[in-house]
Structure 1
Amino acid sequence: MRDLPLPTLPFSDLRALKTERRPGMTPPAVLRPAPAAAAPARLDVSWARHEDDVREAQRLRYQVFAEEMGARLSVPPGAPARHDIDTFDAFCEHLLVREVDAHGRVGQVIGTYRVLTPAAAKQAGGWYSETEFDLTRLRGLREQMVELGRSCIHPDHRSGGAIMALWGALAEFMMRNKLDTMIGCASVSMRDGGHFAASLWKQLEQSHLASIEWQVRPRLPLPVEELRYDLVVEAPPLIKGYLRCGARILGAPAWDPDFNTADLPMMMRLADLPSRYRRHFMGGQ
């Protein structure tokens, strides 16, 4: 759930076709959303099946996080150059969206999320978010909770329906596997020194803070009191989209020095989806 400078997109007619369910907790093989009226290009949404698919996502992540956002990425020894790779990737499901041209040819990955399921989190030794936050209060949710991470969209496709297609596939995945809660870190740039992030947190604390029983604590807190936090700011578009879907802020932001971001812990539960989003993503279920 890392934030990028994406537009908040209108709801378009992106209805995933039903696919045959594979045994166990595995994602559907391919979801092909219908094209949005305002965007003639078709989108192909699928779950990575091979290492080559994952490598495509990791190359896109490197382009966005390192080249565009200036993150200092730490990769495992022997990792291929110009890829964003960490130890959690091997345990995650990787959701990919590609554009399909007029001749039906599927192009390169233009958007991605990675998803860490409850079983995979146990194998990985925990959630990525636990490297930044104490998640003790969420222990009662873990059996039906997934973690979203490393979301990004290619800069040439941020005015289209890619993010909506990804969200539709995520909703289908949650329902298919009887999961009900999503968590993740929504990142806010600190290129201004952190004043925007501090001000955003203070605003969202008043309007979108989760109940005390779900609140978490950052391991390396953003020093809000040392920053300006009285600016009137607007949430970045991806965070705004999460909030419109009923997401809640779980507590104060952590500081991620490698990405130079302030990370807000967020939680979104399917039960909290507003009715119009429920109809769009879940067919009214």
Structure 2
Amino acid sequence: MPILEKGRYRGRIAETRVDIERAQRLRQRCFRGSATGLDSDGFDQPCRHFLVEDRASGQLVCCFRVLPIESGARIGQSYSAQFYDLSALEGFGGPMAEMGRFCIDPDRSDPDILRLGWGILTQYVDQLGIEMLFGCSSFRGTDAGAYDDAFALLNARHLAPRRWWPGIKAPRVVRFGDGAGKDTDMRRAMRRMPPLLKTYLVMGGWVSDHAVVDDALNTLHVFTGLEIGAIPPARQRLLRAVAS
């Protein structure tokens, strides 16, 4: 897959052990709040690792990993399957890919970084003929009360189709219905929504009806799915414009 360059950034797939360690170092900083050490696990080996770098300095500003899966019959091999009952998705017949550990340098706020990340992912999805993209979308911290409005919005508008419904598996979860009856502040809901999740949603993505409490990474995360064929045509054109 070729290097994708747009403006001040370039996106590419990691090619060396050093590349992967750079990604693990950024992940350590973003997910574990530490400037030292590497965030790594057993899923790093089978995944492809994607990097977005500042073209001028070479600094890594964004990374994520992707695990290709032949079909839903193998979804039990995914990272997400540790936390969610994904038995409904075992019936999905097409190629799938799990995106995980997506993070952006906390000192950077340029929306072009996220845009380029989606551009290189679009190249990969098209190249492999992926029909569903899924993963865990993370909210920072484990204080569920801080996200009442965001969870209420997800519950009202963005739950998974029943045929793909992700069930509860993790020992500690926050059910979105627990905040029912509260007035939802839509502006606050969108402000508290992670940028990656917002992008999934505008493309027609959907989520589980609960968040998993992940103390190890200090996050609340929701299972997120996106059927590629259901992405609105106008949004598909925008993605492929970035990817070209």
TM-score (norm 2): 0.85
TM-score (norm 1): 0.74
Using a 3 Å threshold, how does the CA distance of structure 1 residues 151 and 272 change in structure 2: closer, same or farther?
same
Identity of aligned residues (%): 25
Tell me how far apart the structure 2 counterparts of residues 225 and 171 of structure 1 sit (CA, whole Å). 30
Aligned to 1:280: 238
Alignment partner of 1:31 is 2:27: no
Q: What amino acid maps onto 2:214 in structure 1? A: D
* Alignment check: 8 A CA contact 1:48 1:95 kept: yes
1:118, 1:143 within 8 Å by CA — same for their partners in 2?
Answer: no
Quote the residue 2:155 is aligned against.
205
Deviations 1:20-53, CA, capped at 9 Å, x for gaps: xxxxxxxx1x322332xxxxxx211110111111
Q: Deviation of residue 139 (structure 1)?
A: 0.9
Is it true that 1:44 corresponds to 2:10 in the alignment?
A: yes
What's 2:213 paired with? 255
- Could you list the runs of 5+ residues in structure 1 that have no partner in the other structure? 1-27, 36-41, 71-80
Deviations 1:216-263 (A, max 9, x none): 112224244896553534132332222112111133222212223221
Residues 25-174 of structure 1: matches in 2 within 5 Å?
28=1, 30-35=2-7, 42-67=8-33, 82-101=37-56, 107-118=58-69, 126-141=77-92, 143-174=94-125
Check conservation: 2:72, 2:93, Cα contact below 8 A: no
| 1:186 pairs with 2:137 | yes
Please say if residues 185 and 266 of structure 1, whose CA atoms lie closer than 8 Å, have aligned partners that are also in contact. yes
* Other-structure match for 1:20: none
> Could you tell me which residue of structure 2 aligns to residue 18 of structure 1?
none
| Aligned AA (1:243) | L
Are the structure 2 counterparts of residues 141 and 125 from structure 1 closer, same or farther at C-alpha, using a change threshold of 3 Å?
closer
1:4 paired residue number:
none
State the one-letter code of the partner of 1:96: L
Q: CA deviation at 1:123?
A: 9.4
Equivalents in 1 of 2:176, 2:124: separation in Å? Answer: 40
Letter in 1 for 2:48: E
CA contact (8 A) 1:183 1:267 kept: yes
Q: Which amino acid is 2:157 matched to?
A: S
Distance apart, 1:283 and its partner CA: 5.0
Whose Rg is larger?
Answer: 1
Partners of 1:45 and 1:152 in 2: CA distance: 14
The SS at the match of 1:84 is coil
| Paired residue total | 234
Deviation at 1:198, TM superposition (A): 4.5
Task: Quickly say closer, same or farther: Cα 1:196–1:156, change in 2 above 3 A.
Answer: closer
- SS at the partner of 2:77? coil
SS at match of 1:111: strand
CA gap 1:121/1:43 in 2 versus in 1, 3 angstroms: farther
1:86 counterpart SS class? coil
- The residue aligned with 1:9 is none
The structure where helix makes up a greater share of residues is 2
Cα pair distance change 1:53/1:200, threshold 3 Å = same
- Deviations 1:129-163 (CA, angstroms, capped at 9, x unpaired): 01110110111226411000000111232224111
- Residue aligning to 1:5: none
Stretches of structure 2 lacking an aligned partner (at least 5 in a row)? none
* Range moving further from structure 2, 106-115 or 174-183: 106-115
